[in-house]
């Protein structure tokens, strides 16, 4: 569900109405991972030597790299399974942080707040997503750690920012949600030979994540113009830095992945993010956020340079979830 307005035409009544629409959508169109996915169906079985786990070159930087493509078929499958399990593990860890932060945020909301109801709906959905992702990891059978050790340690403290620094917290929410959403949509659009577990998990996640991303966009459109000039400037600089740090934490595999499969350091550098194609993918993750930064007043001369320094500058989307425009 995509809702688009500008800060000027979004008063409190209009903002509350959008939240009511999102809440009603959560009531009438939601999923249960243990009802809507037939985990025990024979077609969902995870079996050895299933080529559907091989990383697709259009969907994953590693899948497009000559080093990976030159590997034996069995090794490609093993790496692909571990990679997908780790992406799911990272997803559930991020959702866990998000849930704790949103619960911290709603604790202080007043009675009658439309935000309280919507945020609580979102937490329920994100809780189901953690179950879904963990079930996927368990079925694949790879003991994937998810995030690296630094982010796992910081996970205890990040949710605390949702109270005093709520705008920065929701920037962080988008920093995690936008890359995952972009990657999963690319998978669903272009990969017909996908394992049913992956396809079902991604389809549910993309469907519900559309509401969650819409809320974060509307929240920041509403709140950023109300910030002090200094606060808004600080957030404008912090936004691209947060995007890049959390994107790397979510998208780049941990060191144990590179050690386990003896992947050369040169391959790692090209994949994340030295090669031109991987650099393009990194920029493409944040077209919607660049649009939000422009609309909400978070793009200025200084912040534009920070976006560029973080290597995530580029064209802003014309509308939410606009497919990537490729040069002819």
Q: What's the whole-number mean pLDDT along residues 195-220? A: 94
Residue 228: per-residue pLDDT: 96
Instruction: Specify the DSSP element, H or E, that contains 232.
Output: helix 229-251
Cα 204 to Cα 212: distance, rounded to the nearest angstrom: 13
pLDDT for 185 beyond 50: yes
Judge whether residue 191 has pLDDT over 90: no
Residue 4 pLDDT: 46
pLDDT band of residue 7 (cuts 50, 70, 90) is very low
Dist. CA 115–CA 154, nearest whole Å:
26
Give the pLDDT of residue 161: 92
pLDDT band at 186 (very low <50, low <70, confident <90, very high): confident
- 285: buried, middle or exposed (CB in 10 Å: 19+, 13-18, 0-12)? buried
Between CA 285 and CA 243 the distance in angstroms is 10
Query: Dmax of the chain from CA atoms?
Result: 60
Q: What is the 3-state secondary structure (H, E, C) of 258-283?
A: HHHCCCCHHHHHHHHHHCHHHHHHHH
Domains of the chain: 7-309 (1.10.620.20)
Band of pLDDT at residue 5, cut at 50, 70 and 90 = very low
CA distance 77 to 51: 6
pLDDT for the residue 324: 65
- Is 324 strand, coil or helix? coil
Element (DSSP H or E) covering residue 171:
helix 166-190
C-alpha–C-alpha distance, residues 256 and 262, integer Å = 10
Report the Cα–Cα distance between both ends of the chain, in Å, rounded.
30
How far apart are the C-alpha atoms of 205 and 176, rounded to whole Å?
13
Q: How many residues does the chain have?
A: 328
Reading the block at residue 202, the tokens are 């991604």
Q: pLDDT value at position 321? A: 66
Identify which of 95, 67, 52 has the alpha carbon closest to the alpha carbon of residue 261: 67
Q: What is the pLDDT of residue 10?
A: 63
Tens digits of residue pLDDT in 92-142:
999 999 999 999 999 999 999 999 999 999 999 999 999 999 999 999 999
Render pLDDT for 273-325 as a digit per residue (tens, 0 to 9): 988 888 888 999 999 999 999 999 999 999 999 999 999 999 988 877 676 65
Q: How far is Cα 121 from Cα 37, in angstroms, rounded to an integer?
A: 21
Instruction: Report whether the peptide linkage leading into residue 258 is cis, meaning its omega lies within 30 degrees of zero.
Output: no
Question: Is 18:218 a contact under the CB 8 Å cutoff?
Answer: yes
Instruction: Tell me how far apart the alpha carbons of residues 123 and 118 are, in angstroms, rounded to a whole number.
Output: 9
pLDDT of residue 326: 46
pLDDT category, 193, cuts 50, 70, 90?
A: confident
Q: Note the pLDDT of residue 182.
A: 87
pLDDT at position 323: 66
Round the average pLDDT of the chain to a whole number and report it. 91
Does residue 2 have a pLDDT over 80?
A: no
Question: 212-234 burial by CB neighbour count: b if 16+ within 10 A, else e?
Answer: bbbbbbbbbbbbbeebeeeebbb
Q: What is the DSSP letter of 37?
A: S
- Average pLDDT in the 16-44 region? 94
């Amino acid at each position: 569900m995509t809702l688009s307005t500008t800060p000027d035409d979004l008063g409190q009544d209009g903002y509350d109405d959008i939240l009511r629409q999102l809440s009603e959508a959560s009531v009438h169109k939601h999923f249960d991972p243990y009802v809507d996915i037939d985990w025990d169906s024979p077609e969902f079985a995870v079996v050895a030597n299933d080529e559907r786990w091989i990383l697709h070159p259009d969907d994953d930087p590693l899948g497009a790299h000559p080093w990976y493509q030159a590997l034996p078929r069995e090794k490609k499958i093993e790496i692909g399974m571990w990679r997908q399990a780790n992406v799911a593990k990272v997803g559930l860890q991020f959702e866990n942080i998000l849930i704790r932060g949103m619960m911290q945020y709603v604790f202080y909301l007043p009675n009658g707040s439309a935000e309280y109801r919507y945020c609580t709906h979102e937490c329920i959905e994100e809780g189901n997503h953690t179950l879904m992702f963990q079930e996927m990891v368990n079925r694949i059978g790879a003991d994937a750690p998810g995030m690296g050790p630094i982010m796992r340690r910081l996970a205890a403290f990040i949710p605390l920012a949702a109270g005093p620094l709520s705008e920065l917290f929701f920037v962080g929410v988008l920093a995690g949600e936008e890359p995952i959403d972009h990657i999963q949509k690319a998978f669903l659009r272009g990969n017909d030979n996908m394992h049913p577990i992956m396809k079902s998990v991604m389809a549910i996640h993309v469907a519900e994540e559309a509401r969650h991303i819409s809320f974060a966009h509307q929240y920041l459109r509403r709140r950023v113009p109300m910030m002090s000039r200094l606060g808004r400037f600080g957030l404008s600089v912090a936004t691209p830095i947060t995007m890049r740090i959390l994107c790397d934490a979510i998208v780049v595999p941990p060191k144990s992945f590179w050690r386990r499969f003896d992947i050369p350091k040169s391959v790692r550098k090209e994949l994340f993010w030295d090669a031109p194609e991987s650099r393009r993918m990194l920029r493409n993750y944040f077209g919607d956020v660049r649009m939000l930064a422009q609309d909400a007043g978070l793009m200025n001369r200084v912040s534009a340079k920070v976006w560029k320094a973080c290597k995530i500058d580029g064209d802003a989307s014309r509308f939410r979830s606009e497919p990537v425009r490729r040069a002819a």
